[in-house]
Structure 1
Amino acid sequence: MHVSLISLMGATALAMAAPAFAATPKPADPPTAGPLDAATFYKGMWYEQARTPTGLTRGCEYATTEHGRDSKGRITVRDACLKGGPQGKESAIAGIGTLKDPGQNAALEVKYRFGPFRPVRTYRIIAAGPAGEWHISAEPGFEKVYIFTRAIAPPLSEVEALISRVRAIGYAGEIEVLKTPGRD
């Protein structure tokens, strides 16, 4: 009976504290940057300059995302990075992307092939350069962000300006600047 009373008291305290925890709002998903020209935006190489670090990506530098088309006209996606420096071992994953917002073309769902696994990620373009020279993408929930440029190694001041843009949109999480050929 004593244990039950303690459990009940603990459950009551937890229930009373729950609103305090729930009161910490997550940032809302920012609007997407569309409309984008899918034929040019999802074509060629993008160089990742900064991102939210994760266990999978930590230590993986010189990162790229390459878009193309397969024989069925679908968007192909290949994400790669190097572990251990510019001559390091490549880590890569590839998949097929589907635009989830036709006409806006700023939300791409990618079904990756990773051995027997088929992880799915949706990337939302939340800001893009007027000439398609850079973009910022985020996963739904605005918990992870990625900053890409068409230039391999833009000046660090440009990367920092893009990070400031992400902060102005409302992202408060950690961001790491990646090593890039020519700026490492």
Structure 2
Amino acid sequence: MRALILLFTATLLAGCAGSKPDDAPETVGQVDLKRYQGTWYEQARLPMFFQRNCVRSEAHYELQQDGRVAVTNRCETGDGEWEQAVGEAVPQAPGRTDRLWVRFDNWFSNLFPGLTKGHYWILYLDEAYSVALVGSPDRDYLWLLSRDQEIDASMRDRLLEQARQRGYDTSELIWRGESS
């Protein structure tokens, strides 16, 4: 019975991840994925189940020759242990590099590959590719990312304003060094 409930819940969540609200937030347009690759440090995020124990997170992206992006997410827990998830990102539509599908390599996604992809929409990206705002079109997920481990108050305020302009509730953000 527990396995059936887990399967139903996962199916329901995957269905939600695939839907797109009519009032979806604005994204940046074309992203040069070659420039975007590399390491990004999470400055803040909206609460999410998969990162519930994380106090520091980082993402590593590597553009592949076929246009896919290899993804490695690392998370330091409150106990000082590091956890890692490996996956890949692909454009949701050909030639549209600001809206990606991300899928992580785990037992569930290997069993149900079509059900486990999540939205990765690049909502804001500065010209230097040094800070980014990434979220989902339903506004349930949001990450404030930077190339540096720390950002100053003015950059933090700029990212918060960009998120609010796109309709995200920033009052529940969990900042780097905090746990859910």
TM-score by length of 1: 0.73
One-letter identity of the residue aligned with 1:129:
D
Structure 1 111/127 Cα, relative in aligned 2: closer, same or farther at 3 Å? same
Task: Give RMSD over aligned pairs.
Answer: 2.2
> Hey, what's the Cα distance between the residues in 2 that align with 1:69 and 1:143?
27
Partner residue, 1:113: 105
> Hey, what's the Cα distance between the residues in 1 that align with 2:30 and 2:117?
23
1:28 aligns with 2:18: no
Partner residue, 1:166: 163
Please give the secondary structure, in 1, of the residue aligned with 2:97: coil
Structure 1 71/128 Cα, relative in aligned 2: closer, same or farther at 3 Å? closer
Larger deviation, residues 71-80 vs 142-151 = 71-80
Partner residue, 2:147: 150
1:27 positional shift: 8.5
Q: Which residues of 2 match residues 117-128 of structure 1 at below 5 A?
A: 117-118=108-109, 119-128=116-125
Structure 1 157/176 Cα, relative in aligned 2: closer, same or farther at 3 Å? farther
Partner residue, 1:99: 91
Partner residue, 1:39: 34
1:71 positional shift: 7.1
User: Whose Rg is larger?
Assistant: 1
CA contact (8 A) 2:34 2:63 kept: no
Larger deviation, residues 88-97 vs 65-74 = 65-74
1:77 aligns with 2:77: no
Structure 1 166/73 Cα, relative in aligned 2: closer, same or farther at 3 Å? closer
Structure 1 70/128 Cα, relative in aligned 2: closer, same or farther at 3 Å? closer
Greater RCO (Cα-Cα under 8 Å, separation 6 or more): 2
Structure 1 vs Structure 2: percent identity of aligned residues? 25
Please give the secondary structure, in 1, of the residue aligned with 2:160: helix
Stretches of structure 1 lacking an aligned partner (at least 5 in a row): 1-25
TM-score by length of 2: 0.74
Stretches of structure 2 lacking an aligned partner (at least 5 in a row): 1-20, 110-115
